[in-house]
Structure 1
Amino acid sequence: MADVEEYGADLAAFRRRVEELRTARALPSSEALPALDAALFELQHAAEVLWPRYEELAAAGKRNGGRDDAHEHQLLRALFQRLPVAVALLDRDGVVRRLNVAATQLFGMRPGYATGRALAGSFTHEGRPTFRSQVAAVARGEGARSLHVQLLRPPDRSSPRSGALRATLTALRPPQEPRTAVLTVFQTYGDTAPSAPGRGGPAAVRREPAPAEQPATARPALTEMTRHAELLDLIDDMATALLTAPPARDAVAARAAAVLHGRFADWVILDTGGKSETLCRSAVLASSGEVRDAVSAQAPAASPVVADAVDRRAGVLQARLEDPDAFGCDETGAPLLVRAEASSLLCVPLSTGTTGTEPDSGPDSPSTVQGALTLLRTGGRSAFELAEAGAVDRMARHIAFALRRSEM
């Protein structure tokens, strides 16, 4: 602070001397030479003394300000993560930039997976256009908005309104960024203010232990172990069904679909034939009769996700459906995924190869593609995960071998 005051005093004195030198223009030319020498001296003083001192003070201010800003940013990030309500920072297209802890629990997504993906994929199909439009309007500066959305995966299936959310959107300009972001707060219909101390009632909120209160000892992930055991049982049941199936293509497809339907997926669609242009729909298992008939009548080649999986020999995992036309449309042009109320999709090729990337060398090639397996889950179930996709890829290989045996 003393250095700043001293520099200010020197600068004020320099300005006064410059003002006095400006009056030298009225002197005769024979007497103006000493004033010119003094002006050159003042310029040298400004260049060699005043300017270097200004640079030192500016650099010191940036260092102190940088430390203060970094501390402030850390504090804001900590507050954002510890907020008891679900908060998401979105761009003008509704793509997630940041989720706090409560939001990751509400949407059932990890922060690393959610970042860079459209948040509208977590809502039912009818609410996605409205949500995107409102986010874009807030980003354009048209004021804060509030709307209702419905989760594809309700947190509590026993409550019919547990998946209903109120989304409050407001514009936010992050520091040092050129574009406006949209801060979105999500509240479930069960969120209420806590009651006064000593009083019970419906407004009481169950207290969750703080992270610091959690036991320091590591506990086994029992949920993941249980899920892993379930996948192993599913693979074993699939192998048993295929080994005991009659050597016929339709019988193999029916056995495989029966193992997966209900237990693992709400929709099971098996397309067999070898190439996308010659595929035929061998099995369709679902609970909805009218929509099931529309899916059964669809040509597999008209389904973009099936044709892509067969042509590229690579699986397609869409944990949160963002493109309603991914599986194709019915005769009226309505997306089949919307009619089926699908929330998650997994499509894998039925390939007998180990990697699915080797070139074909004939009908008996170890990498021949026998078709595609498509699985859908509806809004009441959790989205497909990578571990489940790996298990389905193994089962698809077993199905491909069974189909190949039936042809031989």
Structure 2
Amino acid sequence: MADQLEPETLLREISDLEGRIGELRQAANMPEPDLRATLDAALVELELALTALRTMGADQNAVTGSSAAADAERRVLRTVFQDAPVPLFLLDRDASVRRVNRQAAALLGTSPGYVSGKQFIAFCDLPTRAALRSQLAEVVRTGRRKRADVRFLGRERPVEAAVTMARVWIRGEADPMVIAAAGPTAKSKKKAEASPAKSGAKGETATPATARGASRRTEQATAPETRDDEAMAAIVHRMDVLATASELLLDDPVFNETVAMRRCARLLTSEMADWVFIDILEGGSGGGNGRGAELRRMVVMGPDNGDDTGAIARSLEELPPGPDTLPHTVHTTRQSALRPHVESIDVLGVCADGQPACGKIGATSVLCVPIDDGTTSIGAITLAGSGEQGPFDLLDLGVVQRLGRYLALVIRAARIFRRRAEVAESLQSSLLPRHLPSIPGLELAGSYLAATHGVEVGGDFYDVFPTSDGGWGMVLGDVCGKGEEAAAVTATARHGFRLLSRWQPGPAEVLSMVNDVLLDEDRFVTAVTAHLKIAGDRVNIRLGSAGHPPAIVLRADGVIRAAPAGGVPLGLFEDFEAGLNDVELAPGDTLVLYSDGILEACDIARRQFGQEKLMESLAAHATAPVPEMLRAVEDTLRDFCDDDLRDDVSILAVRVLPPPSN
């Protein structure tokens, strides 16, 4: 081509070029195209177009000529670059994308505007990035053409491509630029020849759908008529994820914070991401957005790939979400962040071994949302993907944002629940003796199990105390209801029994006086009390009952009986009469008092534990020391009801020890 071209000649050359490019496009769309040859021809045409641009009359001062040259330049750029039948990237010398054509944008499954300005290597998988950057630098430095096999991170899935890079000088630019043209690899070409595309417009190869599910991708053709169905399937799947999350997070009556976070991470790794990180503000409910506190990594969950994944997860658990990381920024600003194509692989921090977290897990796409309850942020959820299922998009971000809100509300409820439970536990402990007294010749043990439903303080109590006649008193009772009001009645009843027994040793009198005290209360109390009088190696017991389940006597020879019950609950009627009974315990005999919570505990079929099963459990462990016997009953009860106790359970037992041998 001449050093200078007249405008008319240049226009003719452009017209011929347009015709040849049209033929190349037709060749690329044939059923079995030779895409490698088409790519090489397109690059030749590109070189010719660049030569034409260089020879355009820079020194043509005529207005008509300059206008014609400018029009011709625009036509060359539009024809060669935008309408080329192969994906083309125009790169600055620092490998940032200046411009892409429609074919390149379609290859990545995005818009040309999104690609422009980003690093070219950000659209390639991690293993090829370093080598590709070096090859780009060599092309700029030496001008020699380079070819590399690349896995582009397409919207649907990674795309294997052979990229040819060539240096170009464009008029008006101070530095050289790089044209990168993408075509099929030899491997993918052979695969395509062996397995022709099923259905696609103009011979295009079918691509997978975008819906995420249990298999993370559904293999379908993406013909135009199916795209609406695929979009609807993706939306429905995201709705399913949110519905499942709601069920998992709310299906926990105690709102356990750790359980909620792990359930959330497990759901996200199975449905949306390869790796999930959950970071929570340490020490507090989230007030002040981290003022005086730091984010702490609570959960790291990745693919179930054996020991390697476990080792990586452990190193990431030890990596704090510091101020220079994306989770920390998202938490402090309360603004979500979406990085469909990660450019800086240290965005999640650098591990102790010096390797960036993204590089360690192969993350090329990241999104992060605050765990925000609407008032404050208490942490962040981060999702990382390798690009095998395509980059994260705005719909993914919306789903995880909503999930972050759900998790924040559950954590806030869990912390309120925990504080109330601590208060209830402290109050409950004040209603039970810290230690039972040591009585010569007797072995004592008590047990208390709080209900697993609700956090209000229960109404059970028991106590052992000396009586006015030198004996010992035992009492076990249950106040109707729960909460602070029930706790006040519980304290009144327990201390009433202890105090009145110093003046009235008999159970009948003590029960009657406690009844008088409780008449002004709004709650009734059931109770069983025992007055113990030691006589040599035996113990005489006077039992008094006020509407309470009967005491159980376990003999040393294995015989087990329930003592007669009777009486009415305390605090209901002025005319009170207790149920009374006398029992004598010989060495090895045991007396057991208990609350109705153990009898009314149910299994999954709503069958009650009942008195018979209680007696069987006691008999099965009759030879064990009293504390071990009560623990065995607890274990049997927990197994029976699957640790689902709807009411508090109290047990108090005393055994007569055999006399010491000489």
TM-score (structure 1 length as normaliser): 0.70
Moved more, 138-147 or 179-188: 138-147
CA offset digits 1:161-209 (Å, max 9, x no partner): xx44322111112233333211011222158999xxxxx9669899843
User: Which residue of the other structure, out of 179, 182, 202, is the alignment partner of 1:186?
Assistant: 182
**RMSD of Structure 2 on Structure 1 (CA):** 3.2
Per-residue CA shift, 1:220-244, capped at 9, x if unaligned? 7333222222222222222222222
Verify: 1:226 aligned to 2:217, yes or no. no
Aligned to 2:347: 326
1:376 Cα deviation from its structure 2 partner: 0.7
Say which is worse superposed, 250-259 or 173-182, in terms of deviation: 173-182
Q: Say yes or no: does 1:379 pair with 2:390.
A: no
Deviation, 1:111, is 0.8
Q: Trace 1:8-407 onto structure 2 (pairs within 5 A).
A: 61-152=62-153, 163-190=159-186, 208-209=201-202, 221-245=228-252, 246-273=254-281, 274=286, 277-287=293-303, 288-301=309-322, 304-353=325-374, 367-407=375-415
- Structure 1 distance, partners of 2:116, 2:382, is 26
CA shift, 1:284, in A, is 1.9
SS of residue paired to 2:397: helix
Query: Any conservation in 2 of the 1:373–1:396 contact (CA below 8 Å)?
Result: yes
Q: How many residue pairs get matched?
A: 322
CA contact (8 A) 2:370 2:381 kept: yes
**How far is the alpha carbon of 1:344 from its aligned partner?**
0.6
Identity of aligned residues (%): 25
Q: CA deviation at 1:135?
A: 2.0
Q: Is the 8 A contact 2:90 2:99 kept in 1?
A: yes
Q: Larger relative contact order (C-alpha < 8 A, sep ≥ 6)?
A: 1
Q: Give the TM-score normalised by structure 2.
A: 0.45
* Structure whose residues are more often helix by fraction: 1
What is the CA distance between 1:83 and its match in structure 2?
2.4
What CA distance in whole angstroms lies between the structure 2 residues aligned with 1:203 and 1:265?
30
Deviation of 1:334 after TM superposition, in Å, equals: 1.2
Uncovered stretches (5+) of structure 1, i.e. residues with no partner: 1-57, 158-162, 195-199, 212-216, 354-366
The 1:68–1:387 alpha-carbon spacing in structure 2 relative to 1, beyond 3 Å, is same
Higher strand share: 2
- What residue ranges of structure 2 are gaps of 5+ in the alignment? 1-59, 205-223, 304-308, 417-662
| Alpha carbons 1:91, 1:97 under 8 Å: kept | yes
Please tell me whether the aligned partners of residues 156 and 390 of structure 2 are also in contact (alpha carbons under 8 angstroms).
no
- Give deviations 1:43-91, integer Å, cap 9, x for gaps: xxxxxxxxxxxxxxx87x3235424532442353133233232211111
SS class of match (2:202): coil
Q: Deviations over 1:315-366 (max 9, x none)?
A: 221111111111112221111211111121111111122xxxxxxxxxxxxx
Structure with greater Cα Rg: 2
Distance 2:398 2:175 in 1: 39
Change (3 A) 1:228 1:74: farther
Equivalent residue for 1:15? none
Cα distance change on mapping 1:193 and 1:372 into 2, 3 Å = closer
Q: 1:169 to 1:318 in 2, by over 3 A?
A: same
CA distance in 1, matches of 2:264, 2:152: 31
Q: SS state of the match for residue 73, structure 1? A: helix
3-state SS of the aligned residue for 1:139?
Answer: helix
Amino acid at match of 2:354: G
Indicate if the aligned counterparts of 1:154 and 1:380 stay in contact, CA closer than 8 A: no
Residue type at the aligned position of 1:405: A
CA distance, structure 2, for counterparts of residue 230 and residue 106 of structure 1: 25
